[in-house]
Structure 1
């Protein structure tokens, strides 16, 4: 007998992240990587953090920064978040906030809080791979969240009941989603609120990219729209997950959850059992840097990523062969590519790494049902504009070559309109 033979059933649902594995390629010489949706380390406010950590470790602050602390989080940081949420139309107080070790921990806690084996989570197709990884451990069933009006609440209920559970929440990234870069419009956000009311389920709003808008008018967070209707956050069913990972630093692992106080109170118990509290030293440093320069730093980050997004969109338009489609995000870090039918993203990646030295993420991993084999995700956050141009040109040549080879074996049908 080996210990793996007595692992819990949930362990069989845990899989290695394709993205985390691909990040290992960043250190290989010659690889141009569009894979990891990671911030550019050259944009980190490193000097400000060095001073903030020094301050937290001196002048008597070390007694607090290095000691055990409350599970709810560092109060001054929560107070700063209160102000930030108010700017987005969400009036809350510190009791509505829990500090987490990145928003990823928040997703794990929400899966633990809501999902019993067999319950249903509604997710978009595609959706954030990390959310699926967080929820999988709690053995849910997934159903596709469709905001176009083609699905009724009763159809969702029936599907959940046939699986022996109930719909517990709808999860989505409403702004510049990972992986597609797309944004959910206000009308669809309103429809989701109506659907959640009908289903009596929660909404998990992932706001990881909320601050990275480059074009267009901001859309109110789903939580802000619900709060405007209900008047008090404690009556809202939307749970907002925020993070400093995409703006200040991912390595410090500081995120937060905003929700009704009964939800926060229960999640505090989960955090007490899991890790007691997020590192106070990190929270203190983030609080200091956020208060000093959050807005100015985010403007700097936006300018850099906007230029890179524009460079990728130009390169895609210039180099990609006919039949390849892509999204045109107003912000975030990602562009979603749909390849012609019959082209497999995973197979293309293997060939790309071998021949043109370009990395990306195959899209199939982002589908709860294993769909989307002819899709890939590209990130423009790390490479400079010249490298983006070169990488897209290489990838486009490879796609064109692959399509030509396929046509030589089995010619694709061309529509009469194209002819």
Structure 2
């Protein structure tokens, strides 16, 4: 069978995730990995999930837990999420919530819902690799989003039209973004809203790391700022994607979309066609654990993650040669390094794995146009202090030799 003859043209745009491939290195005990942006499994609320799963499997509840369910998601979980959204400035109803299999499925659905081949997506330079992968299958053109207003709405619209489509949405992660760790200030969030209104496009707000703030004051989500302008979620153009992966556990694959009712109604049809509904058992367990321990659990997470971030920043200050710069995130899991232009992150990774046994993610994969070769992403979430000291010292020495 010559499979290329029957595959859709968009399949050629699908590529293996560099991060997923690098995660395989975690099985090698001598590798110091700053690659995967994954939560520390030692911090999972294991006992709480064991109890929740056991409770769900009692005779009185097992029938519902193991049966087909509604595509919108488990109602008590959607009620809990709606209350949480209201707490961060987004008053909404459970009917404004759709449960997804992680926020990655949410991104895929939104790409499928809004992108026609040739349309334009505005995004950061760099931006989350998983979003690029999800949207790329639907054959868009990517344009660099400039929240500070460096590109006019007319310019974006003209370039989109020249490509044979129109701009459909702006995608951005505004808090401790993957990969840079940077946070968009309130003024820039308002400017994104202004741009989207002028262009009559949607905004996809990826809030996967929003709860993991270690310093500074919280900034309202874009959706909250928009509701303050327009009066209700059903009048809003912003679509908020949330996740329990970074706060409770990623393996259960429970995320959500919060949006205007017409958007949710379309997404429910998409969910029905794709997988009917997310795991009922997992949703029941997440609802029970979130209700019981979410606030103290997230508060507990902040201390070790803050300490690891601080340890990595101190090690970078100590070990990196002149000419290397990096971000200083207020939360999340990542530090973003910019190397001198003469260095290439992918080549550096190959050398690092061979001689230093230190893994990280080269930055080029996070740029829609393949630029950013002299950048890389470090994750501190699973690294212990001794590993950080040794790994950053090795990496600094390797960069220093490459620059010599």
- The residue that corresponds to 2:300 in the other structure is 300
- The residue that corresponds to 2:360 in the other structure is 360
- The residue that corresponds to 2:205 in the other structure is 205
**When the two structures are aligned, how many residues end up with a matched partner?**
404
Per-residue displacement from partner, 1:179-212 (whole Å, max 9, x unpaired)? 0000000000000000000110000000000000
Displacement of 1:385 in angstroms is 1.3
Per-residue displacement from partner, 1:58-97 (whole Å, max 9, x unpaired)? 0410110000000000000000001111110000000100
- The residue that corresponds to 2:390 in the other structure is 390
- The residue that corresponds to 1:323 in the other structure is 323
Displacement of 1:274 in angstroms is 0.2
- The residue that corresponds to 1:416 in the other structure is none
- The residue that corresponds to 1:378 in the other structure is 378
Per-residue displacement from partner, 1:267-298 (whole Å, max 9, x unpaired)? 00000000000000000000000011001110
Q: Distance in 1 between matches of 2:384 and 2:77?
A: 33
Q: Distance in 1 between matches of 2:94 and 2:41?
A: 31
Check if 1:13 corresponds to 2:13: yes
Displacement of 1:148 in angstroms is 1.8
Unpaired runs of 5+ in structure 1? 405-419
Q: Aligned ranges for residues 181-330 of structure 1 at < 5 Å?
A: 181-330=181-330
User: Aligned to 2:335, what secondary structure does the other structure show?
Assistant: strand
Q: Distance in 2 between matches of 1:341 and 1:141?
A: 26
Displacement of 1:375 in angstroms is 0.1
- The residue that corresponds to 2:107 in the other structure is 107
Q: Distance in 1 between matches of 2:52 and 2:399?
A: 48
Q: Distance in 2 between matches of 1:84 and 1:75?
A: 14
> Structure 1 residue runs of 4+, over 4 Å off?
none
Q: Aligned ranges for residues 108-187 of structure 1 at < 5 Å?
A: 108-187=108-187
Q: Distance in 2 between matches of 1:20 and 1:261?
A: 34
Q: Distance in 1 between matches of 2:279 and 2:83?
A: 22
Q: Distance in 1 between matches of 2:132 and 2:53?
A: 34
Q: Distance in 1 between matches of 2:82 and 2:367?
A: 34
TM-score (norm 2): 0.99
- The residue that corresponds to 1:40 in the other structure is 40
Displacement of 1:249 in angstroms is 0.3
Q: Distance in 2 between matches of 1:148 and 1:67?
A: 49
- The residue that corresponds to 2:89 in the other structure is 89
Q: Distance in 2 between matches of 1:260 and 1:58?
A: 36
Displacement of 1:5 in angstroms is 2.8
Displacement of 1:29 in angstroms is 2.1
TM-score (norm 1): 0.96
